[in-house]
């Protein structure tokens, strides 16, 4: 190979590598944009009583999900709550929570089960899950 052909070969190689670098950089940016868009459309947040009360006042379309046992629920629950015990949540969610974009406010007794339930709902594809934690910290009304 003469020097002129060798120089052309080097230039073409550099141009090809540059093009590959630009293409892979664009693909990486598309992935980052996609991850940001997913983060924007999915809400998963731990909230306190005050924030839950605000959400419930602001929104007309939300579900308040109590993941405790039937006995705990009967002892007292937040007005408007629906009982979906944690050990039955996956099947009940499939039957009763049809809109995966609806706001779900989840609570239990102390906050442990509500965290597990919120994680499960997120894995199941629900996009607006708020973990209220435990009813023991609830500052609003409780009904029996």
- Catalytic residue annotation: 108
Domain limits at 52?
42-143
Whole-structure pTM value: 0.72
The pLDDT, as a whole number, for residue 15 is 65
What per-residue confidence (pLDDT) applies to 9?
A: 64
* Same domain for 1 and 60: no
pLDDT for res 67? 98
In which element (H, E) is residue 6 found? helix 3-41
* Ranges assigned E (strand) in 37-109: 43-46, 62-66, 77-78, 82-83, 103-108
pLDDT the model gives residue 41: 59
pLDDT confidence of residue 109: 98
The CATH number of whichever domain residue 121 belongs to comes to: 3.40.250.10
Amino acid 7: pLDDT: 63
* Run means of pLDDT, 10 residues per run, the chain, 144 residues: 64 64 55 47 87 96 98 97 98 96 98 97 97 96 94
- Separation between Cα atoms, residue 137 and residue 10, nearest integer Å: 70
Nearest to 137, CA basis, from 30, 40, 10, 52: 52
69 with 112, same domain: the answer is: yes
Query: Are residue 117 and residue 82 in the same domain, yes or no?
Result: yes
48 sits in which H/E element? none
């Amino acid at each position: 190979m003469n020097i002129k052909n060798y120089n052309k070969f080097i230039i073409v190689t550099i141009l090809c590598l540059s093009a590959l670098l630009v293409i892979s950089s664009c693909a990486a940016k598309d992935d980052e944009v996609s991850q940001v868009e997913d983060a924007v459309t999915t809400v998963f947040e731990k909230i306190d009583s005050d924030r839950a009360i605000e959400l419930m006042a602001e929104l007309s379309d939300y579900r308040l999900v109590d993941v405790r046992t039937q006995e705990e629920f009967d002892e007292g629950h937040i007005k408007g709550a629906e009982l979906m015990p944690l050990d039955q949540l996956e099947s009940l969610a499939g039957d009763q929570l049809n809109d995966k974009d609806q706001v779900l406010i989840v609570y239990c007794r102390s906050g442990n089960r509500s965290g597990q339930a919120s994680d499960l709902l997120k894995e199941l594809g629900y996009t607006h899950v708020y973990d209220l934690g435990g009813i023991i910290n609830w500052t609003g009304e409780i009904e029996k």
